[in-house]
Structure 1
Amino acid sequence: MRVADLLATLAGRGVLPEVAERDRPLERCLTARARIRGRIGERQLRLLSEDHWYDSREIWRLAECAPGLGPLAGPADAAHWCRSLLVGIGRSGSASARATSKSLHNERSVCNLPRDQWRPVRLMDCSRQSRARRGMRQVRSRHATSCRMDQEIGPPTDQPGAPFGLDSVYAAAQRSRDDASPVKPCFLPAYRRLIESLAEEADLTPTGVAVTRSRLVFSLVNQLKVRELVESSCIDPELWGDDAVFVLGLPGTGLHRLQRLLNEHSALNIPTLWEILSPTSEWRPRRHQALSDDPFEHALWAHLGQHDSFRAPDLGAPYGDHLLLTYAFHTPSASLEYRIPTYADWLQAQDASEAYRFHRYALAAILDRVRGGTPLLVNEFHSLKLPALLSAYPHARVIRVHRDPLVSLSNVASISTLRRQAWSHRVDPREVTAEWARRLTAVLNEPGGYSEALPGHEVLDVTYPEVVETPLLTVRRICDFLRIPLPTGIERRVLEQCDQFPCEPGAVDTYFCLDEEALPESFREQRAMYCQRWGLPGS
């Protein structure tokens, strides 16, 4: 079937307007597309204009129904419905449009409209369509390419009155989604482990309980929104993130400096705080807009703002992507703010491949609306689950930043202590230090882990002293590694950015003064070998 024949059939039924020129050269269409804003890119236009052949016999066989007369026969029965739908879109927010959207929420198609105006297009009988979808899921599962995450869905059973119980949190999440279709939550084993640790070990203050519950609702809302987009085929995660670059370090390495330097390059796309907080939102804040009253960051930075060494980031500033894993309840960064050792130990022993597959879904939702440049994600906690990261991003390029583990431990222990004080009745700095020393030792000692070679992946190793002492040379090395040019204007902006480092978000100048002899012997041994291998001070 030719796209032109489908458009002509729809125009003949009064669904679309008549087109004066039937045929145009592809290059002319590409030039015209570049002059207007919209969700259709060059790749999508080429998919419509160039011949593609697909064998769908297996789909119809599994669906147990005949193909029928074809797509061109569908508009004859659906023309009236399509015309009324287009009228409903014109009346944005009208009752008729909302009623149509609510009754057919599972039958969405991607079109050149803002996401909040997507409406269903139904060209086949519902029963046949549902059977075809079941057939598609069977084919996808056979090839291990399914976008669904049903294997971790369980019954939402809670204890009555539990503040973090799944029943109440899921109900609050559904209310926040504005008449959206019900989607079952995933990653329930991780959720249950997390709330058990929060209830039994975190010793939360009343404010901590309220903020934590809001965060759980917020995480579940984002999880459901992202999965709904992907599972309804509105976004294909295979099209996004394949060229992603990850900047890693041990927890406490301090990657904000390098992140801000690389953010000056227009060929790199680093997600901002708002994009991480709302991966499915169309709204974009101004570059220097202050934090809104969101449950994740506003309350935390209000507490940290009492300390001179902390300054809250802007919503439009580059930010770490650890929150994308938080929406799947699989993030080690939760231990920064909560005393939850049982959950953290359980999480360290789990295979995080499914959580990172969701991470790719959320990144695809961001990149689908914020396009341009190579995706660059900066996060210290990916080093704790590097094999799972590379399983979800098999073609990822990795930049590892190496720093003395003793300094990293001092940094992460001090930051964790300050953050836990925001929500907990009691915080013991010695206990925090011992906990993070144990985790860093496990990372350094893991076979095939962070400090080992990564066969099949492009890896660039830099040291933190290089980032501080020769920032421009370090940026040049990274650009050569990524095979992107470094114009003179960007070099000048990089040097200007270096003057602002004392005020970087989250920077801490006064760390714990750790007694190295009091640290576990296993940590000291791993630290000595690590520093010697990478030529770091302290070897």
Structure 2
Amino acid sequence: MTTEQEGFDYSNLPDVELTEAAVLAAAREKTGLSDFGDEADWKEGFTLLLKGLNEEARLSKIGRIVAFGEVLRHLENRLRVTDDIKRNPEILQVKIEKPVFLMGLPRTGSTILHDLMAQDPDNRVPMTWECNYMSPPPEAATYDTDPRIADCVAHLERTAAALIPEFQAIHEMGALLAQECLMLNAFDFKSQIFSNQFWVPTYQRWVESVDNLSVYRTHKRQLQYMQWKNPRARWVLKSTSYFWGLDAIMAVYPDAQIVMTHRDPIKLIASHCSLISMACSMGSDLIDKKEVGEFWSVTWEKAMKKFVEFRQSGKAENVFDMHFAELVKDQVGMVKRIYAHFGLPLTAATEQKMRAFIANNPKERHGTHRYTLEQFGLDPAQERERYRFYQDYFHVASEGQ
């Protein structure tokens, strides 16, 4: 249900000038800074995103306000982090060793796996609050009490939680939950996170085709920045868009430890389309579900092909394949298997923390998420055939339909 359908009062909302000049000026004014870093890293994506927001996203008045705020926040992060690193160049000497990458399509269990591995005190994960408000670098002594946590809670409450409360039933949000690298990639405006929030198909296709080497060089600098005053043994990272930069990830992180998550594509496509439709409805009253279905079905077919090509290439030697059905049967048992594969220590205390997390976060505590392929104009038989190559290669069982 959109804000207009609910009778939301637009009369008191200010008009927003969603232009490059306006948002850049706002970022400079809020921070008192002017150096955004090398334009080659971010300017093209920034320009294409603004173009898509104005020409394709069909934004409502409140959608323009939300979009302006999201773009502004990422520009502020660029300005502040760029300035912090200039003043503290030793940040770039921080070593990032054997990071664990959880990579897979959406709705394949990577979120719960990320949350469970975040319970290990040896693991460093990017939390939502520190991705939203990156500067200053987080410190170990105040990491659990940083005032940005409260700022992030307030931000979530006045945006998605307020405008689309049912979204929590699809994808839980929280300042103290592990965040995807989608948020970090937004730093360079080369991120699928914007396509998850707004209908910007031209921008998304560009994200899929752009050279990702600069993206993951920036990504490494971000990890160094966040780790500088709050180090742990290793990073555990997760994203549903690593597909577009697999070679770049291996170039920047040659010692990467990779977990590939797998699930019946039929189940994940319908679920993801439901998530996208709901997220985009926060800023638009004109979301076409069939348009969403066709676009994202093609998108994930391309991603699965990249997945298969990457594995066939042999470029990644240290890979663990995790199947959703096995994770559901025994979540902690799956974590143990992953730790054993990579030779990571798992203490009894950490295992207990993981079990406590599961007990305190039962499935569907925010409601039930119901969806079908037909809602998005997709034929189950045709979709099954579309993704058969992926299921055959990775031996992914069908879950019905």
TM-score range, shorter chain: 0.7 to 0.9
What is the match of residue 29 of structure 2?
Answer: 175
Matches within 5 A, 1:104-119: none
Among candidates 279, 289, 300, match of residue 134 of structure 2 = 279
What is the match of residue 99 of structure 2?
Answer: 244
Q: Percent identity?
A: 20
Moved more, 352-361 or 524-533: 524-533
Among candidates 374, 384, 391, match of residue 524 of structure 1 = 384
- Give the number of the structure whose alpha-carbon radius of gyration is greater: 1
TM-superposition CA deviations, 1:401-438 (whole Å, max 9, x none): 11111111111101001101100121111111111101
CA distance in 1, matches of 2:194, 2:370: 23
What letter is aligned with 1:465?
A
What is the match of residue 537 of structure 1?
Answer: 397
What is the match of residue 114 of structure 1?
Answer: none
What is the match of residue 9 of structure 2?
Answer: none
What is the match of residue 112 of structure 2?
Answer: 257
From the superposition, tell whether residues 230 and 224 of structure 1 become closer, same or farther in structure 2 (CA, over 3 Å).
Answer: same
What is the match of residue 210 of structure 1?
Answer: 65
- Secondary structure of 2:159's aligned partner: helix
TM-superposition CA deviations, 1:449-477 (whole Å, max 9, x none): 45545425411111111111022221111
User: Does residue 1:222 correspond to 2:82, yes or no?
Assistant: no
1:387 CA drift (Å): 2.0
CA distance in 1, matches of 2:229, 2:133: 12
CA distance in 2, matches of 1:475, 1:180: 44
CA distance in 1, matches of 2:62, 2:230: 35
User: Does residue 1:199 correspond to 2:199, yes or no?
Assistant: no
**Larger RCO, structure (CA 8 Å, separation 6 or more):** 2
What is the match of residue 12 of structure 2?
Answer: none
Q: With the length of structure 1 as denominator, give the TM-score of the two structures.
A: 0.63
CA distance in 2, matches of 1:184, 1:172: 17
What letter is aligned with 2:62?
T
> Do the aligned residues in 2 keep the contact of 1:164 with 1:213 (CA within 8 Å)?
yes
CA distance in 1, matches of 2:159, 2:169: 17
From the superposition, tell whether residues 394 and 225 of structure 1 become closer, same or farther in structure 2 (CA, over 3 Å).
Answer: farther
- Secondary structure of 1:378's aligned partner: strand
From the superposition, tell whether residues 330 and 266 of structure 1 become closer, same or farther in structure 2 (CA, over 3 Å).
Answer: same
Which blocks of at least 5 consecutive residues in structure 1 are unaligned? 1-160
User: Does residue 1:355 correspond to 2:215, yes or no?
Assistant: yes
What letter is aligned with 1:169?
V
CA distance in 1, matches of 2:221, 2:203: 24
From the superposition, tell whether residues 505 and 220 of structure 1 become closer, same or farther in structure 2 (CA, over 3 Å).
Answer: farther
CA distance in 1, matches of 2:317, 2:87: 32
CA distance in 1, matches of 2:88, 2:94: 12
> Do the aligned residues in 1 keep the contact of 2:35 with 2:82 (CA within 8 Å)?
no
What is the match of residue 10 of structure 2?
Answer: none
CA distance in 2, matches of 1:462, 1:225: 38
Relative to total residues, which structure has the larger helix share, 1 or 2?
2
What is the match of residue 4 of structure 2?
Answer: none
User: Does residue 1:268 correspond to 2:127, yes or no?
Assistant: no
- Secondary structure of 1:318's aligned partner: coil
From the superposition, tell whether residues 221 and 508 of structure 1 become closer, same or farther in structure 2 (CA, over 3 Å).
Answer: farther
Among candidates 471, 492, 497, match of residue 357 of structure 2 = 497
CA distance in 2, matches of 1:380, 1:479: 21
What letter is aligned with 1:170?
L
Matches within 5 A, 1:416-431: 416-431=276-291
Matches within 5 A, 1:310-389: 313-389=173-249
What letter is aligned with 1:166?
E
> Do the aligned residues in 2 keep the contact of 1:325 with 1:331 (CA within 8 Å)?
yes
> Do the aligned residues in 2 keep the contact of 1:313 with 1:505 (CA within 8 Å)?
no
Matches within 5 A, 1:7-156: none
Q: With the length of structure 2 as denominator, give the TM-score of the two structures.
A: 0.84
Tell me the matched-pair count: 378
What is the match of residue 405 of structure 1?
Answer: 265
Among candidates 20, 27, 45, match of residue 166 of structure 1 = 20
- Secondary structure of 1:377's aligned partner: strand
CA distance in 2, matches of 1:336, 1:268: 27
From the superposition, tell whether residues 300 and 344 of structure 1 become closer, same or farther in structure 2 (CA, over 3 Å).
Answer: same
Which blocks of at least 5 consecutive residues in structure 2 are unaligned? 1-14
- Secondary structure of 1:246's aligned partner: strand
CA distance in 2, matches of 1:359, 1:508: 35
1:445 CA drift (Å): 2.1
- Compute the RMSD of aligned alpha carbons: 3.1
CA distance in 2, matches of 1:332, 1:183: 21
What is the match of residue 16 of structure 1?
Answer: none
TM-superposition CA deviations, 1:201-253 (whole Å, max 9, x none): 10101111111111111111111222333355524435332321111111332
From the superposition, tell whether residues 517 and 416 of structure 1 become closer, same or farther in structure 2 (CA, over 3 Å).
Answer: closer
What letter is aligned with 1:234?
P
What letter is aligned with 2:300?
L
1:389 CA drift (Å): 2.4
What letter is aligned with 2:23?
V
Among candidates 150, 153, 159, match of residue 299 of structure 1 = 159
1:446 CA drift (Å): 3.0
